[in-house]
Structure 1
Amino acid sequence: MAAATSHLRRLLRRHFSSSPSSILNPSNPSTPLSSKEKSRAALSLLKSASDPDHILSICRAASLSPSSSHLDRLALSLAVSKLSSSASPSSSSSSSQTLTLISPLLSSPSHLPHAIVLLGQAGLFDDAVAAFKASPSLRSFNSLLFAAILANRHADVSRLFRELPISHSITPNLTSYNTIVKAFSESGSSRSVFSVLEEMSRSGIKPNKTTFCSALAGLYKEEKFDDVEKLLVLMRKHGCGPRLTAYNVRIQSLCKLKRSEEAKALLKEMAANGMKWNWVTYNHLIYGFCKEGNLEEAKRLYKEMRRRGFVGDSNLYFTYIYYLCQGGEFEEALGVCKVTMARNWVPCFSTMKVLVNGLASSEKIEEAREIIEKMKEKFPGNADTWKEVEEGLAQ
């Protein structure tokens, strides 16, 4: 027992004597870090962290605070996701570690709303309800509604929306109504948004583009196209149409339904309204046509996007490369891959492996080897894996 106690004390001393810099910047622990540098370092380390204790140490070292910056909020959200996935959702150890991270935020009124959201994200919805009831306010109420969505408790959103304002003397605002619209739209009850809009009108609350975009997504998902038309009329009545954001939601929704030609037809409507589309519009259309196997139209849209000077996010290019490889368009995929690598964006290993093997099968061995060398340089830890791929190439 004495030996065990001594060992525990050594572990505790080592844990608490570690400076923030030694955890966040182990290659140069003597260099002090600014708050922003700590946040960036924490976010980067959390992406590859898996050990729960290490995740907690990173968060403590960075002194993450949801009110400090967007980076801190991203890092906290990532940490909660990592902790929640480190064990089964019902695991007491997983819940305990997550609560260890979130508990300090619960005592601060300014941090409480974000803490409630994190509890919902972690699936600890009962704890989120308890946190709200300990310090009820409009902000924490709105956070609790959103936490219910994150916890996949959509049915509870409507119940809480009806009960809590009465029991805690809270008057719902636009954010409250937008959250319940989102809940209905995500849970297969999108037609209920019309009654919500009527209630908003009675309460003197004007819906905004967020209200209508959530409703549009839900109606399209359930393929209630007649109701979409009704909603578009209401949008114009409330001065919320036509807008680029709404058009992008409509285009994305149609592409998800494999109705990409109908989605593309909306471009003419946008042009008639004097509206220009953006890279997000192209992103949805390229994905839609790729998903439907129409690579020729996807390639045309990609070239048009580039010609217009639009630059998408990394996911646009990664998705496009994946589908090009699936369609045997390895040369085209190589060209897109070079664009992404110039921006320091690299697709996942499985996609790159398909690309390399595809280039080799197309007698482009040198191009395949060049990709492998670049991947080994960028990710030296995966060098052995790429060596196996290289050895499998045709000689």
Structure 2
Amino acid sequence: MSSLSRLIHRTFATSFSSSTPPQLNPNTVRSLSNDLYKERNLKKLVEKFKKSSESDRFRTKTGVYESTVRRLASAKRFRWIEEILEDQKKYRDISKEGFAVRLISLYGKSGMFDQASKVFDEMPDYKCDRTVKSFNALLGACVNSRKFDKVDGFFRELPETLAVKPDVVSYNTVIKAFCEMGSLDSAVSMVDEMEKNGLEPDLITFNTLLDAFYGDDRFSDGEKIWARMEKKSLVPDIRSYNAKLVGLVSEKKMLEAVELVREFETKGLKPDVFSYNALIKGFCEDGNLEEVKRWYGELEKSECVRDRATYGTLIPFLCEKGDLDWAFELCKDIFERRSLVVNGPVLQLVVDGLAKESKIEEAKKLVQMGKSNNYSRYKLQLPSDK
């Protein structure tokens, strides 16, 4: 940053509005938050958000910030994300590390690393201390923005510059970055470094490694990580078991996978949608329609909500097996759940299959349901219309 830029920032940082901000009661703030949740016009959402931010009490509502930025990011309105977050810098809160960390994190989750890094760099200009908390937020922004190659450099250089000592969160973030890059051995070496520096890896550390090793078809290495975790007397949670379940399915060890899920209850755990999806995927790959139906039935009986992966795995398999009636019912489920989005070609498989089997009325119904449910992005068509 140039000397002129730093001078501008210092001047700006020390000249917050002298007017007294509006003091709104909790009910009013709650009403403002609800209004933002309901606002469908994104431009109006931005305007209302900036206006609401004038309230000190509103600026404590982390959830509203998260929700608003997530909606704008989903719509790829990155310019508007920058508009509302840069607007926050005019408030005195920017001198508090927690508030700056929020901006860094929100930019990071939106994939806007340059803006996240800029907030971090500007913190001294706003007389805002940078501790391990903001250091970790910057590392997290790297990971969320998929700038994995930057993480190790920051981890090695910034602690000395900032006079901070990396903590478990810091190491876990670097481990996550290495795992995402596929540098799994480097990720394990970070665990060794943690212990050498007097820090104990936690369940997050091991779950990150288990996800990576079991998910990368390195089952035996995953088992070594599992043994190392148990040696630390850390109790595996549902995420740990799901990672192992994925590994067993990848190894085609379906009997052991089923046995593992059956053991959940003895561990005080309940299978979640990821557990069921793993078993369904494994039996689909085995071509075992009977077991697929059985575990889908277990999923239906549970309190778990079927997700995109459930349908994305099941429907192509059912089309392959010729069970178009069930595939048709699953498609109707998808359309009835308006917030659920699956890949268009998956639904088109069912339309094509129904038409091929001369079930034209059912095929037409799916095409029509797609249109009536505002799913035009799928562009479902009968084969005769292509």
Confirm or deny a common fold (TM above 0.5): yes
Question: Is 1:133 the equivalent of 2:133?
Answer: no
Contact 2:355 2:382 in 1 (8 A): no
Q: For 1:117 and 1:41, how far apart are their aligned partners in 2?
A: 24
1:356 to 351, 354, 358: 351
1:115 to 61, 81, 103: 103
Q: For 1:202 and 1:265, how far apart are their aligned partners in 2?
A: 36
Q: For 2:199 and 2:60, how far apart are their aligned partners in 1?
A: 28
Question: Is 1:315 the equivalent of 2:308?
Answer: yes
Question: Is 1:150 the equivalent of 2:144?
Answer: yes
Q: Give every structure 1 segment of 4 or more consecutive aligned residues whose post-TM-superposition deviation is greater than 6 Å.
A: none
Contact 1:154 1:183 in 2 (8 A): yes
Aligned-residue CA RMSD in angstroms? 3.6
Structure 1 position 361, deviation (Å): 2.7
Question: Is 1:34 the equivalent of 2:27?
Answer: no
Give the TM-score taking structure 1 as reference length.
0.70
Question: Is 1:61 the equivalent of 2:48?
Answer: yes
Deviations 1:209-261 (A, max 9, x none): 21111011222344443432221122112222443220112223555xx43x3
Q: For 1:364 and 1:370, how far apart are their aligned partners in 2?
A: 10
Q: Secondary structure at the match of 1:34?
A: helix
2:229 to 214, 229, 235: 235
Matches within 5 A, 1:15-94: 34-42=31-39, 45=41, 54=43, 57-63=44-50, 67-80=60-73, 82-83=75-76
Aligned twin of 2:193: 199
Residues 119 and 310 of structure 1: CA distance in aligned 2, closer, same or farther (over 3 Å): closer
Aligned twin of 1:179: 173
Deviations 1:258-317 (A, max 9, x none): 43x3266233245457234333200122234446655554333212333x4343333144
Q: For 1:376 and 1:134, how far apart are their aligned partners in 2?
A: 49
Residues 73 and 97 of structure 1: CA distance in aligned 2, closer, same or farther (over 3 Å): closer
Q: For 2:305 and 2:162, how far apart are their aligned partners in 1?
A: 45
Residues 128 and 291 of structure 1: CA distance in aligned 2, closer, same or farther (over 3 Å): farther
Structure scoring higher RCO (CA < 8 A, sep ≥ 6) equals 2
Contact 1:317 1:336 in 2 (8 A): no
Residues 182 and 382 of structure 1: CA distance in aligned 2, closer, same or farther (over 3 Å): closer
Contact 2:352 2:383 in 1 (8 A): no
How many pairs does the alignment contain?
Answer: 335
Structure 1 position 190, deviation (Å): 1.6
Residues 218 and 354 of structure 1: CA distance in aligned 2, closer, same or farther (over 3 Å): closer
Residues 68 and 358 of structure 1: CA distance in aligned 2, closer, same or farther (over 3 Å): same
Residues 339 and 174 of structure 1: CA distance in aligned 2, closer, same or farther (over 3 Å): same
Unaligned runs of 5+ in 2: 1-28, 124-129
Question: Is 1:262 the equivalent of 2:253?
Answer: yes
Q: Secondary structure at the match of 2:146?
A: coil
Contact 1:106 1:131 in 2 (8 A): no
Give, as a single letter, the amino acid of the residue that structure 2 aligns with 1:141. F
Q: For 1:346 and 1:152, how far apart are their aligned partners in 2?
A: 25
Contact 1:174 1:206 in 2 (8 A): yes
Contact 1:83 1:98 in 2 (8 A): no
Q: For 1:278 and 1:298, how far apart are their aligned partners in 2?
A: 16
Contact 1:191 1:219 in 2 (8 A): no
Aligned twin of 2:163: 169
1:279 to 273, 281, 286: 273
Residues 252 and 114 of structure 1: CA distance in aligned 2, closer, same or farther (over 3 Å): farther
Unaligned runs of 5+ in 1: 1-31, 47-53, 85-93
Structure 1 position 69, deviation (Å): 4.4
Contact 2:66 2:106 in 1 (8 A): no
Question: Is 1:302 the equivalent of 2:331?
Answer: no
Q: For 1:121 and 1:373, how far apart are their aligned partners in 2?
A: 36
Question: Is 1:100 the equivalent of 2:94?
Answer: no
Identity over aligned pairs, percent: 27
Residues 69 and 121 of structure 1: CA distance in aligned 2, closer, same or farther (over 3 Å): closer
Aligned twin of 1:18: none
Question: Is 1:335 the equivalent of 2:329?
Answer: yes
Structure 1 position 164, deviation (Å): 1.5
Q: For 2:280 and 2:34, how far apart are their aligned partners in 1?
A: 36
Structure 1 position 195, deviation (Å): 3.1
Q: For 1:314 and 1:223, how far apart are their aligned partners in 2?
A: 24
Residues 310 and 224 of structure 1: CA distance in aligned 2, closer, same or farther (over 3 Å): same
Give the TM-score taking structure 2 as reference length.
0.72
Q: For 1:374 and 1:226, how far apart are their aligned partners in 2?
A: 47
Contact 2:331 2:366 in 1 (8 A): no
Deviations 1:30-55 (A, max 9, x none): xx99333333235x555xxxxxxx4x
Q: For 1:376 and 1:392, how far apart are their aligned partners in 2?
A: 15
Contact 1:219 1:227 in 2 (8 A): yes
Aligned twin of 1:368: 363
Structure 1 position 189, deviation (Å): 1.8
